[in-house]
Chain A
Amino acid sequence: MKIVQVLLGMGVVLISLFLLMLLIKGDVDSGGGLKYQNSSTREAVLEGPFESSGNNARFLQTEAIVERGSLFYTIDQATLSRPDIVKANGEYFSIFPPGVSFLAIPLYILGRIVGAPQLTTYLLNIIFALVNLLLVTRLSRKLGAGVLPSYIAGLIFLFGTNALIYTTGFSQHHVSTALILLALLNAFRDRSLLNNILFGVYFGSAVLMDIPNAISMLPLVIYVLYKHFSIKAGTRSYNIQLRLSFVGLILGLVPFVILFALYNFQTTGSYAALAQTLGRARIGEVEKIQDISLQTTARNFIAFDSRLFSRGLYVLTISDDRGLFFYSPLLILSLLGGVMAYKRNEIKEKVVLLIALILMIVSLYAMFWDPWGGWAFGPRYMIPVTALLSALLGVVVHKYYRKLVFTIIFILFLLPSFFISSLGAFTTTQVPPKVEAVNLEPKIPYNYKYNLQLINKDELGSLAYNYFFKGKMGGLQTVGLYTAGTAGFVLLLYAPQFISRKEEINV
């Protein structure tokens, strides 16, 4: 059985890899070569790999490190990365923490050898998306789902949520999600020295990818620390037992703290000063760009504000511009999975921890002044939450996928979720939030309807489409086929169980 499982896993990963490769952003230049691979063909055009400053700032930092051995941008690099740049001591650098840029260095070097550094560097997110597919599958298994439902959960995360489009860029989302999932799975384990070192590594590196991860992962940190204490009642005294393996947490974390401190020192001039605290800079100017929202309130203002909670919660869950359930209605069924998993005594503690993680991330970003994530496709800050919800969905599928009514509901929710995700993945993340869109001239929609508009005009960002199919196949036809492929892949895994009507198919 083991070998079948390994083969199944490999099959799922390889097919998913193929499906993801079809989405890689790119175009051909006038000479028939690959565009965007050097500075002369690099431009920030809609649907291109450089459409978002978030991608650019990170990629150009990698480029600066490899090409010039520097953490700082040239003026051209800074121009392409704005407004996500900071200026200190006369040098421009990225406003983001450096984790993603550091991690992609080997891929950039590989790309330089084959003459496509942008293309290979951006593969980082595809690699981590596949890792996340396996981690969601693993998590779903831990929550009690069978092998096939667990893979279905992983595939739903990858192809049925807005996680799909963020495989095509160079953002922190998939790496952060992977580290959060790894830390969660690690937290389920016994607190051995090695597990603690690994947990420290996951936490430290997650913060190096994205600062808010330090808060998002707080429930895990608290849980892991709590696991080191136990109380045993003796005849005359209580014994509080502290497991010294907690030292592993420090051992794992310290290298990343040192690395981050050194990075800060090199860039901001202080070990403790983060780039974000300096504020964004304009090219050629030293002044900080004051965010408008900072000026609109008389109260002390930090990025996360309890007053914004109700607005943020609405935006992130059910709104028609960034609502999680609006973009992926399939995940509504996950709520049922939470209840079902919680009812199983042997995994109750794990489920509570998972729910704590979900609620922490939702609460954190609900209080964020920009829950929309700027111009984005769907609730991009919720990608770790979609991973966790997808894992819970595996539990629901496991329980009900022999039932006809559930199967019908499942398919009815699955198809729009997969179609919407594909709309984004073939086009752009640059969708304005409603608050901005209503003031734009000419008007553009503030949700996936914008992506649909682009698709209908056959304006797709996919390299494969632009190289092989442009002019031969319509945009909508392409997206339709892709949706059929990804949804069909999921249903292919779903079908054997449904048809056999057995308790569980052993693979």
Chain B
Amino acid sequence: MFKMPTVNIPIGKVLVNTIKTMTEENIFRYGVILLCIMAVWNFTNFYQNHLGLSYNDARSHLDIGRRVVEGLKPGLAQLGSVWLPLPHILMIPTIWNDFMWHSGLAGSIQSMISFVFTGILIYQILKYLKVGILGRIFGVSVFSANLNVLYLQSTAMTELLLMVTMTAGAYYFMRWAMDQDVLHLIKSAFWTMLATLVRYDGWFLFVFTALLLFIEVLRKRGYKTAEGVFILFCTLAGLGVVSWFMWNLLIFKDPLYFAYGPFSAHSQQEQLLASGNLPTKGNLAISTQVYLYALLFNSYTLPAILAFFGALAFWFNKKINITLRIASLTLLAPLLFNILALYLGHSVLFIQGISGNTWFNVRYGILMAPAIAIFMAYLIDHFKDFRWLVIGLFAFVTFFAFANQDAVTIDDARVGSSQKNVSEVSGWLNKYAKDRAGFILISAASHDAIIFSSGLPMKKFIHEGTGAYWESATTVPDHWARWIVMRTHDDNDLTFKLVKDTEGFKNYDLVDSYPFADIYELKSEYFDRLNTTPVFGKQK
């Protein structure tokens, strides 16, 4: 058979080595720049198509931050009791600006920064696991080429902030496992402490890490040292938890107000349980199934499966220090926490077609994204023969994810239980209340999305956090509120519950009715006794 010739393309070794050195030296820098560009690009994209504020919770988070600096009763007490305070505290420097508030940027900016730093942490973890440059780049790509991550980093939600604090906690814990440097343990405790101030998932990380630490030190160095190291870690890592108890005691006179108060998740779950909509409670199999589905939908399934094999390869690799392998379990904290929370009935998660015919809180599945990225990268580094196969399959599935705009978190925000189309009510308020004197009485616990979407200043609203205004307006509404927004005949709406039997409520006309709320306006003949300006001054 005729033998075909070969073409030789010579490339100077000097040139190749220069490119190689430049790449190795600068890959981290270029990666960070790329992550920053991705963060800004995606925020802009989701801002322009109005998806960035689709989650009700995103609007509520922004309102909480805003109430600290503006409203009838501004101050730190507005941080509230249910949601942990760090995301809202981080908003304070920017939320005073109307654009930053209404664009969502005051909340998104921390998510975007968290996105970039989580990418950096993944890279660093892989570097210390001695994963090669390709594996490190791949790991960061797995994390960042996920529309769910890119969407949530563009919103004022807390997922990315939680992700970065938890991953940083795990990273420094793993560093400690490698070199036993106490400074790394302190850093781990610090980041874990921050995670405990973002979401209750962080509390689990704190307990889980502390336990692993105690067991590991006990195993290697005995009880005395284990006790000392344990106390050292818990003192800093547990500071946030203790502070939160103290906060609740000081502000709400009950250290467990966040857990059992009227607006707590527990109280909401009790209602769901009563209506038979909490199938995960007491059922470990369903709890596991539901969370795993959330995880698979958020990760496009194949990466999660491959990461599982990567994790097995890591944990069963006897060449890796056992302490490090144990420490790496902290990366699984979101998985364990969410299954446990669902089982205990402290959390709710609906997967369309599995539990209920809607989405709700499916975004919880994204919290495993860093772990998936790290273990997938480890897989390609460990099984070099399968390197290009895994990269190719990931690229293949990701291509279809982007082609189909597959982001379950966007569906969760737009069509699941997490969304409310409040534009009709908020549009009405913007049209008729914006330029007219008078306050609007509304329950922020029920209608924060309406407050946000109305585009009106916070000081226009009398809500549960306005102290004397709220107490007065719910007693004699016709003296304080020109408009009342509430769900009529629903005692879960605090406004309705408190004003329905008052004399003053008879002086209102129902002016419009919408699926999520009704709007009442004071009859004009009672305007003469209506307060339209703040009169209580600075309240405690």
Which residue of the partner chain, among A240, A241, A306, contacts B401 with CB atoms under 8 Å? A306
Q: Are the C-beta atoms of B9 and A242 separated by less than 8 Å?
A: yes
Contact pattern, A 229-261, Cβ under 8 Å of B = 1, otherwise 0? 000011011111111110110000000000000
Does A359 sit at the interface, judged by CB under 8 A?
A: yes
Contact bitstring A335-360, B, C-beta under 8 A = 1, else 0: 00000001000001100100110011
- Cβ of A239 and Cβ of B405 under 8 Å apart? no
Roughly how many angstroms separate A192 CA and B400 CA in the complex, as a whole number? 35
Q: Does B4 lie within 8 Å of A245, measured CB to CB?
A: yes
Query: Given the known A-B contacts A238-B11, A240-B9, A244-B4, are A363 and B396 also in contact in the complex, defined by CB atoms under 8 Å?
Result: yes
Contacts of B4 in A (CB 8 A): 192-193, 243-245, 247-248
Q: Which residues of A contact B403 (CB under 8 A)?
A: 300, 302
Interface size on B, residues (CB 8 A): 38
Contact of A239 among B1, B10, B300, B302 (CB under 8 A): B10
Q: How far is the CB of A184 from chain B (nearest CB, A)?
A: 15
Task: Choose the segment among B21-29, B320-328, B386-394, B420-428 that binds chain A (4+ C-beta atoms closer than 8 Å).
Answer: B386-394
> Which segment, of A38-46, A307-315, A418-426, faces chain B?
A307-315
Q: How many chain A residues touch the partner (CB < 8 A)?
A: 44
Contact A236 B13 (CB under 8 A): yes
Taking CB atoms, residues of chain B closer than 8 Å to A236 are: 12-13
CB distance from B50 to the nearest CB of A (A): 14
Closest-by-CB residue of B relative to A301 is B404
In the assembly, what is the distance between CA of A41 and CA of B10, in Å?
A: 70
| Complex partner residue of A240 from B11, B293, B392, CB under 8 angstroms | B11
Q: Does A15 interact with chain B (Cβ within 8 Å)?
A: no
Q: Which residues of B contact A219 (CB under 8 A)?
A: 389, 392
Across the interface, do A359 and B1 meet the contact criterion of CB distance under 8 Å? Answer: no
Counting CB contacts under 8 A, is A194 at the interface? yes
The chain A residue sitting closest to B7, CB to CB, is A242
Chain B: minimal CB distance from A62 (Å): 34
Residues of A with C-beta under 8 A to B12: 236-238
CA distance A299 to B411 in the complex (A): 9
> Within A282-305, which residues are at the interface with B (CB < 8 Å)?
298-302, 304-305
Which of A194, A237, A304 has the most C-beta atoms of chain B within 10 angstroms of its own C-beta?
Answer: A237
Interface residues of B in 389-433 (CB under 8 A from A): 389, 392-393, 396-398, 400-401, 403-406, 408, 411, 414-415
The yes or no answer to B82 lying at the interface (CB within 8 A) is no
B301 proximity list for chain A (CB < 8 A)? 306, 309-310, 313, 366
CA distance A306 to B301 in the complex (A): 8
Q: Is the CB of A306 within 8 A of B6?
A: no
Given contacts A234-B10, A359-B393, contact A298 B415 (CB under 8 A): yes
* In the complex, chain A residues whose CB is within 8 Å of the CB of B411: 298-299
User: Is the beta-carbon distance between B404 and A352 smaller than 8 angstroms?
Assistant: no
- In the complex, A222 has a CB within 8 A of chain B: yes
Measured CB to CB, the closest approach of chain B to A477, in angstroms, equals 43
Does A367 sit at the interface, judged by CB under 8 A?
yes
Q: Which residues of B sit under 8 angstroms from A309, Cβ to Cβ? A: 296, 300-302, 397
- Residue of B5, B396, B404 near A360 (CB, 8 A) is B396
19 pairs, A vs B, C-beta closer than 8 Å: A218-B392, A237-B10, A237-B11, A240-B10, A241-B6, A242-B7, A243-B7, A298-B414, A306-B301, A306-B397, A306-B398, A309-B296, A310-B297, A349-B385, A352-B385, A352-B389, A359-B393, A363-B393, A363-B397
Using a CB–CB cutoff of 8 Å, the interface residues on chain B facing chain A are 1-13, 16, 293, 296-297, 300-302, 385-386, 389, 392-393, 396-398, 400-401, 403-406, 408, 411, 414-415
